[in-house]
């Protein structure tokens, strides 16, 4: 007998960590749903549905003959999460669940309590297929670092924008390293028609952030519309920075730079011009190539006698976007290296407030060994390993997890992973994310755009989140190549419909499926005689006498041909 409110009943073998249950109504239980079940020792316990399978008493022959299943069954597999004890600790049962025990949908408050979801914090979206808001602890998010990993087009920059909005709401100082100029749009409210409709669902309103400042390096084509031009201090550049910036590759040429810098360090402070003068005084045939490369650095104008105070890049209640569009990659690398080095040293001295560095396209600045070199790698690794002690956080964003330094990813306590399918990237996530399971990897491969798996020590278990719509305008929208293409058509609503709507849709789908089955039956049975077609037609389907008459006519023609053929043979044989 079905218990009131139950969605299923445990059957077969059950352990203390997982069980299977028969689903009463397939529309009531879906993969990743949270259910509760009674344990004789621990009481009510939460479990999550891993998969749902449908079985039927049909053989292959039955399917071919168009027979309907007399008995259909849906079986769900669930993994146990546990329950909170009186001290707030998560407890997983040590005794198995009893087959025959009823399974119920878990209440929202019960889910929030067991999963460890916060009542306050950075609101990033809804727990998938629920109305439960997922909020992350801001101190943990900033101090213990965060990474956002996804394939192109899955929504990594959009998700990063959502988190930046939340941090701005809480006056967290931010420096955003922006190679593609996607974050300056934070200044403007979101006016996308589709997004405005979704805002009602997520409970947010359009908002532009006037506490966002945009800086660009010297020589940027966007200097006129920026809030300021970032000028670097060119004093005491290391030999590695000069070699990277000048693109010096030969061993002999690099040796000259090392020698010149070594000589200058003995005398005290030095500039790029001093290095050029020092190389000129060295007797070596390779010096002319080196001089040409160093002269290019001086001409670029990155360095100035009156550099921009680095303290301006990390201010309380403000986000500074460093827009590096149009700047060569080697220059971007040096800029990031210099700024991060100086900010970290200032933070150690307490001369800048605690804050966070947001690093887009991280694989270009902290590449994994074997995927290239970067002068900024060393300082970013240091911030990842030591930044928590000094209150300087790092948000690492990349579309190529396999090319990002694994040491840095492993230092990020909060991992937000959107859809990833590349095998190398999947393997990188397995190595960099602690405690990830095979089921989680499978889930990551099939996440829809705008949906993320959030892994955090603050959560008892990774959760799937529908990322909320942005308040501010998104600057990373893909540019349409062809006007009026399929991509430009209005998007279908991406958020979850109400249960009533879902029920209506399910009923429609069920009716459509029933209709298909009846038509299949008709086609199978119609092989016998055309006259029998009338008897097996589904109700409500119009009779089509034209088709039947046509088939009769074809049969008659065929019989006439056979008769005519026989007469011809008889004539030849017997002269009839």
What confidence score (pLDDT) does residue 55 get? 84
pLDDT surpasses 60 at 234 = yes
Task: Give the CA dihedral 418, 423, 427, 429, nearest 10 degrees.
Answer: -10
- Is the pLDDT assigned to residue 526 strictly greater than 50? no
- For residue 34, give the DSSP letter: E
The Cα–Cα gap between 29 and 314 comes to 48
pLDDT band at 289 (very low <50, low <70, confident <90, very high): confident
558 band by pLDDT with thresholds 50, 70 and 90:
low
At residue 383, φ and ψ (nearest 5 deg) are -65, -40
Residues 293 and 315 in one domain: no
- Could you tell me if residue 524 is inside a domain? no
Chosen domain end from 448, 477, 506: 477
- In whole angstroms, give the CA distance from residue 533 to residue 543: 10
Please indicate, yes or no, whether residues 207 and 343 belong to a single structural domain of this protein. yes
| Domain-located, residue 483 | no
Residue % of the chain over a pLDDT of 70: 82
Residues 216 and 346 in one domain: yes
- Spatial distance between the Cα atoms of 362 and 356, rounded to a whole number of angstroms: 15
pLDDT band of residue 279 (cuts 50, 70, 90) is confident
Total-model pTM? 0.78
97-110 average pLDDT score: 94
User: What is the four-CA torsion angle of 540, 543, 547, 549, rounded to 10 degrees?
Assistant: 160
Confidence of residue 466 (pLDDT cuts 50, 70, 90): very high
Provide the pLDDT for residue 555: 55
Q: Is 529 within a domain? A: no
The answer to whether residue 493 is domain-embedded is: no
Residues 111 and 145 in one domain: no
Same domain? For 65 and 138 the reply is no
Per-residue model confidence as pLDDT tens digits over 469-524: 999 999 877 666 776 554 444 444 444 444 334 444 444 544 454 454 444 444 44
Do residue 250 and residue 213 come from a single domain?
no
Q: How far apart are CA 307 and CA 234, in angstroms?
A: 8
Spatial CB neighbours of 413, under 8 Å, sequence gap ≥ 6? 140, 144, 145, 146, 456, 457
Judge contact between 164 and 183, C-beta under 8 A: yes
540 has a pLDDT exceeding 50? no
Separation of first and last alpha carbons in the chain: 81
User: Same structural domain for residues 313 and 414?
Assistant: yes
Q: Where is the domain boundary, 430, 447, 477? A: 477
What average pLDDT does the segment 126-135 reach?
A: 92
What SS3 state is found at 277? helix
* Mean pLDDT score across all residues of the chain: 82
Residues 168, 66 share a domain: no
CA pair distance 403, 425, nearest whole angstrom: 8
Question: Tens of pLDDT along 161-170?
Answer: 999 999 999 9
Asked whether residue 538 is domain-assigned, the answer is no
Q: Which of 134-148, 170-184, 272-286 has the lowest mean pLDDT?
A: 272-286
Given a contact cutoff of 8 angstroms between Cβ atoms, the answer to whether 76 and 41 are in contact is no
| pLDDT, greater one: 464 or 507 | 464
In a domain, 50, yes or no: yes
547-555 mean pLDDT: 51
- Please state, in angstroms and rounded to a whole number, the distance separating the CA atoms of residues 462 and 416: 10
Tens digits of residue pLDDT in 334-383: 899 889 999 999 999 999 999 999 999 999 999 988 777 788 898 999 99
Its domain, for residue 85, covers 6-115
Q: For residue 543, name the pLDDT band (cuts at 50, 70, 90).
A: very low
d(CA 478, CA 51) in angstroms, rounded, equals 34
pLDDT at 574: 40
What is d(CA 191, CA 184) in angstroms, rounded to the nearest whole number?
Answer: 15
Please state the rounded mean pLDDT for residues 23-42.
92
What is the structure's pLDDT at 216?
A: 93
CA distance 230 to 39: 62
How many domains does the chain fold into? 3
Is residue 86 domain-shared with residue 20, that is, in the same domain? yes
Q: Is residue 544 part of a domain?
A: no
Q: pLDDT for 430-460, tens place per residue?
A: 887 877 788 888 889 999 989 999 998 888 8
Higher pLDDT, 86 or 476: 86
Q: How many residues does the chain have?
A: 576
Judge if 275 and 372 occupy the same domain: no
Looking at the structure, tell me whether residues 203 and 248 fall in a common domain: no
Range with the lowest mean pLDDT among 155-159, 291-295, 343-347, 358-362? 291-295
Query: Domain containing 378 — which CATH number?
Result: 3.40.50.300
Question: Exposed, middle or buried by CB within 10 Å (0-12, 13-18, 19+), for 11?
Answer: middle
Task: For tokens 């009131």, name the residue.
Answer: 4
pLDDT at position 45 = 96
Q: Are 374 and 333 in contact (CB under 8 A)?
A: yes
- pLDDT at 542 > cutoff 60: no
Q: Say if 229 falls within a structural domain.
A: no
CA–CA distance, 176 with 182 (Å, rounded to integer): 10
Tokens of 573: 């044989």
- Domain check: are 257 and 403 in the same one? no
Of 445, 477, 509, the last residue of a domain is 477
pLDDT on residue 502: 41
d(CA 161, CA 156): 9
């Amino acid at each position: 007998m079905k218990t009131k409110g139950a969605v299923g009943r445990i059957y077969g073998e059950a352990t203390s960590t997982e069980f299977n249950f028969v689903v009463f109504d397939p529309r009531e239980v879906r993969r990743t749903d949270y259910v509760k079940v009674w344990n004789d020792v621990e009481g009510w316990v939460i479990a999550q549905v891993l998969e749902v399978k449908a079985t039927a008493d049909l053989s292959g022959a039955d399917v071919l003959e168009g027979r309907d299943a007399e008995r259909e069954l849906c079986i769900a597999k669930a993994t146990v999460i546990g329950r909170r004890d009186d001290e707030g600790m998560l407890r997983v049962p040590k005794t198995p669940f009893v087959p025959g025990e009823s399974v119920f949908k878990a209440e929202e408050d019960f889910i929030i309590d067991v999963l460890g979801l916060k009542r306050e914090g950075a609101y990033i979206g809804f727990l998938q297929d629920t109305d439960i808001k997922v909020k992350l602890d801001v101190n943990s998010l900033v101090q213990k670092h965060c990474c956002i990993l996804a394939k192109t087009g899955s929504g990594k920059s959009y998700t990063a924008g959502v988190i930046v909005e939340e941090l701005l709401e809480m006056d967290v100082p931010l420096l955003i390293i922006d190679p593609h100029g996607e974050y300056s749009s934070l200044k403007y409210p979101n006016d996308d028609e589709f997004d405005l409709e979704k805002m009602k669902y997520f409970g947010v309103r359009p908002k532009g952030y006037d506490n966002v400042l945009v800086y660009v390096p010297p020589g940027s084509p966007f200097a006129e519309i920026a809030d300021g031009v970032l000028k670097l201090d060119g004093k005491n550049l290391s030999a590695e920075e000069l070699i990277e910036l000048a693109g010096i590759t030969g061993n002999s040429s690099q040796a000259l730079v090392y020698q010149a810098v070594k000589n200058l360090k003995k005398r005290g402070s030095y500039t790029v011009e001093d290095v050029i003068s020092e190389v000129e005084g060295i007797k070596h045939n390779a010096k002319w190539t080196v001089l040409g490369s160093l002269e290019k650095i001086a001409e670029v104008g990155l360095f100035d006698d009156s550099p921009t105070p680095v303290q301006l890049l990390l201010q309380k209640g403000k986000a500074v976007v460093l827009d590096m569009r149009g700047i060569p990659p080697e220059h971007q690398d040096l800029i990031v290296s210099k700024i991060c080095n100086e900010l970290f040293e200032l933070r150690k001295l307490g001369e800048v407030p605690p804050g966070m560095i947001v690093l887009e396209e991280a694989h270009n600045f902290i590449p994994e060994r074997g995927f290239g070199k970067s002068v900024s790698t060393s300082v970013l690794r240091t911030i990842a390993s030591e930044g928590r002690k000094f209150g300087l956080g790092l948000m690492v964003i990349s579309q190529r997890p396999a090319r990002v330094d694994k040491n840095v990813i492993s230092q990020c306590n909060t991992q937000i992973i959107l859809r990833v399918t590349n095998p190398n990237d999947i393997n990188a996530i397995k190595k960099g994310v602690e405690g990830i399971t095979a089921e989680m990897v499978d889930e990551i491969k099939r996440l829809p755009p705008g949906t993320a798996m959030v892994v955090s020590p603050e959560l008892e278990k990774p959760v799937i989140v529908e990322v909320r719509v942005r308040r501010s305008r998104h600057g990373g929208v893909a540019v349409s190549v062809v006007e009026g293409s399929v991509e430009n058509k209005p998007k279908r609503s991406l958020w979850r419909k109400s249960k009533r709507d879902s029920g209506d849709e399910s009923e429609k789908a069920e009716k459509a499926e029933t209709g298909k089955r009846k038509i299949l039956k008709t086609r199978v049975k119609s092989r016998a005689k055309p006259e029998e077609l009338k008897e097996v037609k589904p109700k409500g389907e119009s009779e089509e006498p034209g088709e039947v008459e046509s088939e009769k006519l074809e049969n008659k023609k065929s019989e006439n041909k056979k008769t005519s053929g026989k007469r011809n043979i008889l004539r030849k044989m017997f002269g009839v």
